[in-house]
Structure 1
């Protein structure tokens, strides 16, 4: 589609949100990129410093659930494409506060869909960024886009519910939606609640990597640059109404991940790696693995090009160069939060 104006709702803890914004701003100076973000605890404005002064970039601080704000954006701008990445994503937190996940992930999607569908300038694409976790766990079955959806925690349940909302706008109105379901995206600037930056942050503070439980959990890791290329290819060549898995064959056991990071950060011999690992009680209802196939996306011409060795090298190097990136952001957010609480 011929595109000019984008609205991107970002969730920077995924790192892919800010990377997608920066990539679009850099690659397409003739496109106008509007970024709507609530600046939640897992966000740092520093993630977007490289583009904040660009003529083709606009940042709006706001809540995707705020229907007056979202409707105003669609009534005053000519939005051609929506990338909807805004979501609460942390599985453990979803068990603690499921209502907040329902609000952001389901209600936010409903508000955005309604505003986009009713806009005077009709969007050409609404791309909803979902997760492989909607399939639930599997030990041996590999999921494709037609596999049944069986979410196993409040986070993935809200993402699946949002998918059904998005799909309903295609079924009823032929509103031009596309859904992506991706493996774990990793890379620079990812918030420290995710496993790779969590291990790196612990090691930088001379603390041990905490391994949850004793079962052999693993994850498929997709480097953020490959994810961004997949999003842009889906925009260019994806078929409306379809779902695309964004996957990688790079499956890393969490134990192996921890050992690799200890070796890279602490530079200790193999005999001492175990000294930097600590086993802690497992979290509830943890899924062991999420294997997906992405042949459908590959048929459009996509391949994951960044090897695990190169992707993790770049990621570790970034966290070593920016050790205080997220600690500073956390302090800023605590200050902001306390000010907001006092204001109420």
Structure 2
């Protein structure tokens, strides 16, 4: 069932909203991806609201909970439907009696409360957020509005209706940069965010803490590594590079390509959230971490290998890998310790090789059709204004770019547009 709460707007805005509900059937061709965990259903959990449910990670959890617990849980996907969301991500659930899509904005208190009360929600998974770090440098106000104020609205609304579980999805970026050789960070480590996106997520966490203490709101905070896999909007590095290479165009690295990230397959992330729902302790924080760490440059090589593109010769590599300036500041790496969650029985099951194979196959089949025209978002630094994506005009070179000098030359995108409302995926 679909419940639309969209307000009337401009002609172009109405056309854009209508396009979200058009069904071109592409989702019928896609494999149905879910996690692998299954627990004894909780007797005090009946109606689960997932914010950002039409976005990437949240849609995996929505499918998993709906299909794994058909007689136990009713899942309500609550999403604004911004440029990076797609109803294709959950259309396979539309005929399920235990699934409802509710179109709403987390910064709108009346819509949030209406959804919570209408469906007697007892459990909230809060994924919805503006999450693309590059955009946060040019539109930091939008990130504060959605990620901080939106979380505040949800917390106040959850307190009002008496939600029994509030599971807040944060990010490993709240810890800040971790140097090579330093120990992986625990849940008790100091938060030291270095970019506006990470700062907004840390601020949101402080609000969650305050509602735990002041109002005894039963909450859990989850901090995850980068998640990848089918259904991720191609503004993020793995799907963007797959789509570019599949078009016969080169992948464009920021800076010199040396920063590393740890990656977690989306199915393993869904299992982690399912585990935390059923076995996590209220009031706790859980890191969701993998050990699959790879530099952006080496990631290009892995993708070229997976796609069968020759790159051993320097000329071949230069054909497929280009460079542009770096972010104003680009954390070299993040590293979190996931022992606490592993003690609940969770562990990643999908190797990076297998996850990358599944992901490449899916984007080669569906990447050009799932969200409509993705050409503009495949530029190195796409700009988002409202629900429109614009290409950048940044220069691309054959040589790695030094981070500091180029960063000072960068012109930030306009800050008067609202950017993405998506689930977490750095």
- The aligned residue for residue 355 of structure 2 is 311
- The aligned residue for residue 275 of structure 1 is 319
Change (3 A) 1:153 1:112: same
- Is residue 37 from structure 1 mapped to residue 79 from structure 2 by the alignment? yes
- The aligned residue for residue 153 of structure 1 is 195
State the Cα deviation string for residues 10-49 of structure 1 (Å, max 9, x = none): 1655x21111111111111121111110000111111112
User: Aligned ranges for residues 1-12 of structure 1 at < 5 Å?
Assistant: 1-2=42-43, 3-10=45-52, 12=54
Determine which structure has the larger helix proportion and give its number: 1
Q: Post-superposition shift, 1:266?
A: 4.3
- Is residue 193 from structure 1 mapped to residue 235 from structure 2 by the alignment? yes
Structure with the greater relative contact order (CA < 8 A, sep ≥ 6): 1 or 2?
2
**Unaligned ranges ≥5, structure 2:** 1-41, 378-383, 389-416, 418-426
TM-score relative to the length of structure 2: 0.75
Instruction: Tell me the distance in 2 between the aligned counterparts of 1:243 and 1:84.
Output: 14
Instruction: Tell me the distance in 1 between the aligned counterparts of 2:308 and 2:320.
Output: 9
Instruction: Tell me the distance in 2 between the aligned counterparts of 1:102 and 1:157.
Output: 9
State the Cα deviation string for residues 279-322 of structure 1 (Å, max 9, x = none): 21111111110011111101111111110111001000101111
Instruction: Tell me the distance in 2 between the aligned counterparts of 1:269 and 1:182.
Output: 32
- The aligned residue for residue 16 of structure 1 is 57
Q: Post-superposition shift, 1:90?
A: 0.7
Instruction: Tell me the distance in 2 between the aligned counterparts of 1:39 and 1:91.
Output: 19
Query: Is the partner of 1:325 in helix, strand or coil?
Result: coil
1:257 to 295, 299, 312: 299
Q: Post-superposition shift, 1:209?
A: 0.7
User: Aligned ranges for residues 33-72 of structure 1 at < 5 Å?
Assistant: 33-72=75-114
State the Cα deviation string for residues 63-101 of structure 1 (Å, max 9, x = none): 011101111222322112100000000111011111111
- Is residue 98 from structure 1 mapped to residue 147 from structure 2 by the alignment? no
Change (3 A) 1:213 1:12: farther
- The aligned residue for residue 407 of structure 2 is none
User: Aligned ranges for residues 262-341 of structure 1 at < 5 Å?
Assistant: 262-268=304-310, 270-271=312-313, 272-326=316-370, 328=372
Q: Post-superposition shift, 1:274?
A: 3.8
Instruction: Tell me the distance in 1 between the aligned counterparts of 2:370 and 2:140.
Output: 25
**Unaligned ranges ≥5, structure 1:** none
- The aligned residue for residue 83 of structure 1 is 125
State the Cα deviation string for residues 234-274 of structure 1 (Å, max 9, x = none): 11111111100000011011111111112222432522334
- Equivalent residues of 2:86, 2:371 under 8 A apart: no
- The aligned residue for residue 220 of structure 2 is 178
**Equivalent pairs, count:** 334
TM-score relative to the length of structure 1: 0.93
